[in-house]
């Protein structure tokens, strides 16, 4: 999980690194580099960096500024995440930072702080019980095969379910109704999937169904799903799984984040009365 976090944010971090280098270089004068064929000025350098990385860097800075008061993150929380990454990478920690565009641990720590603020904002009010974590852990040992019909609204979903209850053929209805073109022509059939492969509402419903059972409408960001589980099987290799006690905290965090309300973050930022004075960046940045 932490490895994904490092890789996911490398582009913005690289931008922060290069913009930082620009500000340091500018202290020496208007020329940041000289060549036999001409010089590169501070303004040229800055404008290039703004064009390539500026929107990502400024966006992260805005997140930090807006979220820091209402969703503060302690130094101890950030250090705990750093320690997890160090444990994951071991002796490769420093090289991993460099490969992902981070100048040093301090820069990575600043970036992690912003990500933790986002997580705190989007998971506020989300509760995960020990029973849910245990169930999630057990689900990780199993794969599910299913078929589904995806529609835009609940009314249409109920219409499909009524037809299924009256003897309608699932594959035929999938071809007629489903907006998931990749599976509709195949009767709604999906390959075997594991935890983390599908959006969480879909995954949770599928794992809770018995083989042959059809779900009630399941809402996700894509619309409403009607799911029919066609098979369940144990994974051939679960040796990479730790014990439940070893993974409990990690899985709880994962479940929290999978149920995060990302729309809330957009609402917070869009209501923060942000005014970006740079025209180029203003056109690029949206929340």
Q: What is the pLDDT of residue 80?
A: 93
User: What does DSSP say about strands 142-151 and 31-35: parallel, antiparallel, or unpaired?
Assistant: unpaired
Q: In what order do the strands lie in the sheet with 223-234?
A: 142-151, 223-234, 218-220
What percentage of the chain carries pLDDT values higher than 70?
90
Largest CA distance in the chain: 81
pLDDT band at 71 (very low <50, low <70, confident <90, very high): very high
Helix (H) or strand (E) holding 41, with range, is: strand 38-41
Q: Tell me the percentage of the chain whose pLDDT exceeds 90.
A: 77
Indicate if the pLDDT at residue 262 is higher than 50: yes
pLDDT band at 47 (very low <50, low <70, confident <90, very high): confident
- In the predicted structure, residue 197 carries a pLDDT above the cut 50: yes
Tokens in use for 202? 């879909």
In the Cβ-directed half-sphere of 278, how many Cα atoms lie within 13 Å? 12
DSSP3 helix / strand / coil % (the chain, rounded to 5): 60, 15, 30
Rounded Cα distance, 48 and 102, in Å: 19
Please state, in angstroms and as integers, the Cα–Cα distance from residue 53 to each residue in 11, 45, 57, 114, 255, following that order.
8, 12, 6, 17, 32
CA atoms of 118 and 107, how far apart (whole Å): 17
């Amino acid at each position: 999980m932490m490895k994904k976090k490092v890789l996911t944010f490398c582009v913005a971090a690289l931008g922060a690194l290069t913009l930082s280098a620009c500000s340091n270089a500018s202290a020496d004068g208007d020329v940041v580099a000289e060549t036999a064929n001409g010089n590169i000025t501070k303004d040229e350098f800055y404008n290039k960096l703004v064009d390539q990385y500026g929107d990502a860097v400024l966006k992260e800075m805005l997140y930090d500024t807006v979220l820091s008061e209402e969703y503060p993150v302690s130094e101890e929380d950030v250090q705990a995440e750093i320690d997890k990454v160090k444990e994951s990478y071991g002796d490769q920690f420093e090289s991993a930072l460099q490969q992902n565009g981070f100048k040093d641990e301090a820069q990575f720590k600043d970036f992690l702080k912003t990500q933790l603020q986002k997580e705190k904002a989007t998971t506020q009010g989300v509760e995960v019980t020990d029973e849910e974590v245990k169930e999630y852990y057990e689900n990780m040992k199993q794969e599910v095969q299913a078929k589904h019909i995806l529609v835009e609204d609940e009314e249409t979903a109920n219409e499909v379910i009524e037809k299924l209850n009256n003897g309608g053929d699932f594959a035929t209805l999938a071809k007629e109704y489903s907006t998931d073109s990749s599976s509709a022509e195949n009767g709604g059939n999906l390959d075997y999937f594991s935890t983390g492969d599908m959006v969480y509402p879909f995954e949770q419903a599928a794992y809770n169904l018995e083989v042959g059972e059809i779900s009630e409408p399941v809402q996700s960001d894509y619309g409403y799903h009607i799911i029919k589980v066609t098979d369940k099987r144990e994974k051939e290799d679960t040796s990479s799984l730790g014990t439940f006690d070893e993974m409990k905290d990690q899985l709880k965090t994962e479940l929290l984040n999978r149920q995060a309300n990302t729309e809330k973050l957009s609402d917070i930022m869009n209501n923060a009365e942000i005014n970006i004075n740079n025209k180029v960046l203003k056109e690029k940045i949206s929340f």
